[in-house]
Every structure is written in C-alpha cells, then in structure tokens.
Amino acid sequence: MNRLSRRDFVKGTVLTAGALATGVFPTLANATAEKSKVYFTKDLSAAGLLKLYGMINQDITGKIAVKLHTGEPDGPNILPREWIKTFLGEVPNSTVVECNVLYSSPRQTTEGHRKTLENNGWTAFTNVDIMDEDGDVPLPIPHGKWLKEVAVGKHLLGYDSMVVLTHFKGHTMGGFGGSLKNISIGCASGKLGKKQIHSDGKETWAGGPLFMERMVEGGKAITNHFGKHITYINVLRNMSVSCDCEGIKAEPVRLPNLGILASTDILAIDKASIDMIYALPSDVRAHMVERIESRSGLRQLSYMKEMAMGSDHYELITL
C-alpha cells in the first residue's frame, strides 16, 4: 500500500477524534489489552506537557536525550522555550539534543547551528547537544528494505533514554512531521545520515512513498537502539503545512490548536495526531490533508506497521 485515501484511512480509525473539536468524547467500545494507550490533554502549557509525561515515563531512566526541533532563525511556530525550560527542570539528567541539517541553512554547520540556538533563545537556559558535532556512527536497521544502517550523531550513544518531544505540523516532503520524522531525520547526521534517508541513489531530494519508507527505516534504527527506553509527545499547536525547517518562510497557520498527545507507541501517537486532523471539518482540514496526501504522507503510518514499530489500534485517554 503506497497511498491511502482519506476515506479509507478515516474508516479504520479506532476513535472518532473529531469529537475533540466539540468536547464530546465517545466511550471506546470493545477495548482490548492489545490497543496502545495514547494520552491527550487540551492543556497547551508546560503543566499539560508534564502531566502527560508523567503517564509515559516509566522506562525513561539514566541520561535522557530530549529530541526536539529548535528551529531556523526566528522560526515562529517552534515549541515555546518557557515550556521546555520548565520541562527540563522537572526531568533530571535531561538534555535537549539536535543534529546539523542537510539543506541550505545556518544549521548546516555546528558553528552556525550554535548561533541559531542563541538567536532563538535556547542558550539562555540550556546547553543543546549537537549530536553530530564530533561525527557520526552507524546504527543497524533490522529488516530494512532500502537501508541496512543509518548514520546518526555520535553523541546519541551517550544517552540511556530518549524523550521525543515533537511539534506536530506539515512537511514539504513528508506531508506531515510527527514523532517519526523527529527521530528519523532529526537524529540522522547532517553530512551523511540525512543524505542516506533523502536520496534514492539518483537524486538527493527524492520524495514520494519510497521516501516515506526510508524515513521509517531511519526511525526504526532509533527505536531499536533505545528499546523500551523511548517515549513520545506530540504537541498539536501552531500547525502550518510547513515544517519548522522553513523558519520565517513557513506558510501561515490555518488549523486550530488541538492539544498534546503522549504515548510509548510511535505509530499510535502519529496515527492519533493524523486522526485528529482528518476529523476536523472538511473546510478547516483541507489544506493540511492536501499537503499530506499529495506527498503520500500516510505511507509513514502503513510502513511503520509493516516494520512492527507499533500499533495503529489505540485507546485515547483524556486527562
């Protein structure tokens, strides 16, 4: 399955997430132990973030990498710095981690990346670990069809656990950027790993369904590395069809803010996020749906299922 239609995709949804827009939440019928738990709050604040984290942090131990997108210079839609400052203060031994980028940007180099971090206000309260500052290391990809390994920032090996803290939004090539995009492209090294994922062997920026599969395989390397010591939070706020990598050139935000999701299951949380978008009124969701489907973005979800990275059946638990 290289592409799913909106109708077929929504038909398979476990919970009608459109109820979120009205505040009416149906009772989940026939819940089974096999369904992954996805926690939800409308509380878009540091307190809401920490409340959800408390539901999914049982296996987050040791030295903790907090993977988030710190943004291009003056990027308008990135996660609020005050939230992250509060979050880090409540999560002992945690560090924000990033990698350099492949596209044209000040963040292509560690020096330029550090200047951007300062410009965007991160260095006022934390030291961000640019994981590929000292090079990269290969991580194996079990059962990869296109990639057998991917180069990630070398510093990643120094962490025991990872919290994937994602600003959910659209994406120019991926259709949407959720937890999968955050760890796959986000942990891949700027010089090599990102090229491995984006290139089809002929062109560097090769999109479409096969790009989704390579991106999933890159994510598989990260989930396989951390095992049970990785967890996911998606923030559905300031959602443009553009990725935060577009900075001040991002398309205007046209979707309503929805809330925060958290899970220990990467497929469940990204599917729940997509379900919430698709359950919005058609005129509200149309531009984001067009972005997702025109890029074959739903292939991220179906291939994660094929790669046994989680469950697309979930129970939504509202806090």
Look at the block and give the residue holding tokens 């180069």: 151
The whole domain housing 222 covers 37-318
Which residues, at least 6 apart from 75, have a Cβ–Cβ distance to it below 8 Å? 120, 244, 246, 247, 248, 250
Q: What was the pLDDT predicted at 10?
A: 42
Q: Is residue 87 part of a domain?
A: yes
Which residues, at least 6 apart from 30, have a Cβ–Cβ distance to it below 8 Å? none
Q: Is residue 149 part of a domain?
A: yes
Measuring CA to CA, which residue among 108, 160, 152 is closest to residue 131?
A: 152
Q: What was the pLDDT predicted at 34?
A: 81
Q: Is residue 29 part of a domain?
A: no
Question: How many residues are recorded in the chain?
Answer: 319
Q: At what angle do helices 179-187 and 299-306 cross, to 10 degrees?
A: 80
Answer for the pair 262, 273: CB distance below 8 angstroms, yes or no.
Answer: no
Q: What was the pLDDT predicted at 233?
A: 99
Residue 223 φ/ψ region, left for φ over 0, alpha for ψ in the -120 to 50 degree band, beta for the rest: alpha
Separation of alpha carbons 121 and 91, rounded Å: 20
Amino acid at 80: P
Residue 280 φ/ψ region, left for φ over 0, alpha for ψ in the -120 to 50 degree band, beta for the rest: beta
Which residues, at least 6 apart from 105, have a Cβ–Cβ distance to it below 8 Å? 72, 112, 245
Amino acid at 141: I
Separation of alpha carbons 151 and 139, rounded Å: 6
Q: Is residue 32 part of a domain?
A: no
CATH number, domain of 159, equals: 3.40.50
Q: What was the pLDDT predicted at 2?
A: 38
Separation of alpha carbons 54 and 41, rounded Å: 13
* Helix (H), strand (E) at residue 1: none
Measuring CA to CA, which residue among 274, 230, 237, 233 is closest to residue 259?
A: 237
Separation of alpha carbons 53 and 62, rounded Å: 16
Q: What percent of the chain has pLDDT over 90?
A: 89
The counts of H helices and E strands in the chain are: 11, 12
Q: Is residue 27 part of a domain?
A: no
Measuring CA to CA, which residue among 72, 66, 106 is closest to residue 84?
A: 66
Look at the block and give the residue holding tokens 């379900």: 275
Q: Is residue 20 part of a domain?
A: no
How many angstroms from the chain centroid is the CA of residue 17?
A: 19
Number of domains in the chain: 1
Which residues, at least 6 apart from 264, have a Cβ–Cβ distance to it below 8 Å? 36, 37, 56, 59, 228, 230, 231, 232
Q: Is residue 229 part of a domain?
A: yes
For the chain, residues with pLDDT lower than 50 are 1-32
Q: Is residue 64 part of a domain?
A: yes
